[in-house]
Amino acid sequence: MSRLYVMPPRRAAGGPEADAARFPQTEVWGASGEFIRAAYTPRKDDDDWGQAGTLVREVMDDAARDRLVSNVVGHLKKGVTEPVLERALEYWRNIDKEIGDRIAKGVKGG
């Protein structure tokens, strides 16, 4: 059986330190079979927007979508510069065009 040991991150000088006496590192990860290195083969539904779009359209109800729009608009109106604002609006439109348009309308007041 192969064993994978996860190394803790290096800590900055004077930063927090794990208490090994109270919390000993006893985890050992194992796997049966071989580990291979291979390129990932994307599926047709692999993209950056699908899961978020499903969440907005199929999981959230109207009230949750309203809260989402209100929260995003509130944050974007707090001094987000124009190039970043346009990217954020594009991001939300890629997730869901209607939500993105509502956010844009809320931010730009139009």
Domains and CATH numbers, the chain: 50-108 (1.20.1370.60)
In percent, how much of the chain has pLDDT > 90?
51
Question: Per mean pLDDT, which range of 19-23, 91-95, 100-104 is the poorest?
Answer: 19-23
Q: How far apart are CA 86 and CA 70, in angstroms?
A: 17
Query: Helix, strand, or coil here: 29?
Result: strand
Length of the chain in terms of residues written: 110
* Alpha carbons 22 and 48: distance in angstroms, whole number: 41
The CA distance from 110 to 97, in Å, is: 16
User: Whole-model pTM?
Assistant: 0.62
pLDDT at residue 23 greater than cutoff 60: yes
Q: d(Cα 3, Cα 24) in Å, to the nearest integer? A: 18
The runs of H, that is alpha helices, within 1-110 are 50-54, 62-76, 82-95, 97-108
Query: Binning pLDDT at 50, 70 and 90, where does residue 70 land?
Result: very high
Place of tokens 């990217």: 87
